[in-house]
Structure 1
Amino acid sequence: MQMTRNLLPLGVLGLIFAGQVLAADVPFGGEYQGTGRQCFGKLSIRSKTIEWRTPFAACKKTPYRVLKQESGALGQEAVFLLQGKSCGFGVIVLGLDPKQPDYWNATGYRSMADYEKSSDDKLLCSVERLPERSRR
């Protein structure tokens, strides 16, 4: 019985660190805050779902697949293909320009075809990544 009580804190720590490792596997995982008339709201990227709520889009927790993930001198970008029931977006792109390291660009396209042709029919928002302590 004594041994079980002593190992319990180690098990809890293991779960905490496992969650951090899983979060690290998610491209740009975390929460982002948008501002302004069209973009006020929150974009949340989790290990299995993505959620984006603005005055013009109510994308509830939706499963996704990562289509592309790039990091380099020209910036960082991840492209998420939303799966299951559509929420108004078929593709969400999140990118960071190294010239503006405090703000990310989140773009929602209605479909894969709109993304591929870089359609003007999209929601483009500047979002700020929330610090870890604000994500809870």
Structure 2
Amino acid sequence: MKTVVIGLCLFAAGTAAAADATPYFGKYKPWSRGCHGAAYLRAKTIEWRTTWSYCKPSAYEVIDIAPRNEPPRIAVRIKKRSKNCDFEVIELQELQIGEDPKMWDITGYPSLDAYQKRELPEWKNSVANDRMPLSCPLDPLGDPRR
């Protein structure tokens, strides 16, 4: 009986996380030369083309999502990366640089570990391949949760 209850709780939590991602579905267009391409967050897949990496449409799980009282942010972990995909975690977020316009960013992390340790001093500006993220500015957007 405990197994069934735990399984139902995990299923409900996963369903809630997927439902919370809905406002973020869409096309994201980076505008810097090194990040040329586009990212697509869909109900079941994420895809991101950059100048140097191509993450084909892949299943994902939501690992982080901002509460309503914080600036919009979502991070997803790709379940099975395609051959030329350099990222295990992709994060989309609104950056609080100034009042207007709102600046958005997409960041790819080579591993879940790199994402989880991104704020640690020895990881933050590291040039080690297993730690170094790719960060790209996006076209300005509003809050997708509205």
**1:53 corresponding residue in structure 2:** 49
Identity of aligned residues (%): 33
Residue-pair matches, total: 110
Alignment counterpart, residue 60 of structure 2, candidates 58, 64, 78: 64
Q: Structure 1 residue aligned with 2:89, among 55, 69, 91?
A: 91
Aligned twin of 1:111? 111
Q: Secondary structure at the match of 2:62?
A: strand
The equivalent residue for 2:139 is 128
Q: TM-score, with normalisation over the residues of structure 2?
A: 0.65
CA contact (8 A) 2:95 2:102 kept: no
1:41 shift after superposition? 0.9
Separation in structure 1 between the aligned mates of residue 66 and residue 100 of structure 2, nearest angstrom:
17
Q: RMSD of the TM alignment (CA)? A: 2.6
Task: State how far apart, in whole Å, the 2-side matches of 1:50 and 1:117 are.
Answer: 23
Structure 2, unaligned runs of 5 or more: 1-17, 127-131, 142-146
Corresponding residue SS for 2:28: strand
Give the structure with higher Rg (CA).
1
**Runs of 4 or more above 6 Å deviation:** none
Q: CA deviation at 1:102?
A: 4.3
Sort the Cα spacing of 1:46 and 1:100 in 2 relative to 1 into closer, same or farther, 3 A. farther
- TM-score, length-normalised on structure 1? 0.69
Higher strand share: 1
On the 8 A contact 1:34/1:42 being kept in 2, the answer is: yes
